[in-house]
Chains A and B, each alone.
Chain A
Amino acid sequence: AQTVTQSQPEMSVQEAETVTLSCTYDTSENNYYLFWYKQPPSRQMILVIRQEAYKQQNATENRFSVNFQKAAKSFSLKISDSQLGDTAMYFCAFIPPNTNAGKSTFGDGTTLTVKP
């Protein structure tokens, strides 16, 4: 079974600064998918960014980017120019390949507070 570890339960950052959230995972699979989701106080889960393990290039979505280190099984999320609206809980998720399709695993989350 896969495990996903988010070692930072809580983090804070000043508005306009940059923050990095860490995520490590354990798997014996070679092809898989990794996601970061955001859960603001409204409780609605929102996709932030997605990475395919077979792609070496790190995914980027506007102010959000990842540092994907496959050998180290690390998938960190960098938020640049932090905004107050980025305040939320962030979850890292591992999606296995077709052999176990559907058995997604989420980390326990990092609560990020952006301070004005």
Chain B
Amino acid sequence: NAGVTQTPKFRILKIGQSMTLQCAQDMNHNYMYWYRQDPGMGLKLIYYSVGAGITDKGEVPNGYNVSRSTTEDFPLRLELAAPSQTSVYFCASSQLSYNEQFFGPGTRLTVL
């Protein structure tokens, strides 16, 4: 099993550009999450999903959008990138909300 995979690993965007961060899991987990981690800080929940077709906002959803058309994939869309979105983005999945979350390796995004 590959677990949770994320692409790309690194990306530099210019202000105002858009991009999609990809996340996939092969564990048939119901729950999937997107977090951002600013330097030296903890994880902030952006969006999460409890199953295909169901998503909800986390603590810091502004400037982001998600979709979950399949159990496996949970892409994160950034529209009109801003310097404040410079961060490391982690995708995670879990079978149920109270189970261990399995994390991807992260995507380091810089907006200049």
Contact = CB atoms under 8 A, between A and B. Distances in A.
Contact of A50 (B44, B56, B96, B100): B100
B74 interface: no
Interface stretch (A14-22, A69-77, A95-103): A95-103
Contacts of A43: 88, 105-106
Contacts of A109: 40-42
Nearest to A31: B98
B43 A102 contact: no
A106 B105 contact: no
A107 interface: yes
Interface of A: 1, 4, 6, 33, 35, 43-45, 47, 50, 52, 91, 95-98, 101-109
Contact of A108 (B33, B42, B48, B50): B42
- For B59, B92, B98, B106, which residue has the most chain A Cβ atoms within 10 angstroms? B98
Given A35-B100, A47-B100, A104 B33 contact: yes
What class of interface size applies to chain B in its complex with A?
A: 20 to 34
Contact of A91 (B33, B42, B96): B42
Given A44-B103, A95-B97, A108 B56 contact: no
B58 interface: yes
A106 B43 contact: yes
7 contacts: A35-B101, A44-B103, A52-B98, A102-B48, A103-B48, A104-B97, A106-B35
Nearest to A45: B103
Contact of B101 (A6, A52, A104, A107): A104
A6 B43 CA distance: 13
A69 B87 CA distance: 34
B58 A103 contact: yes
A4 B42 CA distance: 10
Contacts of B105: 43-44
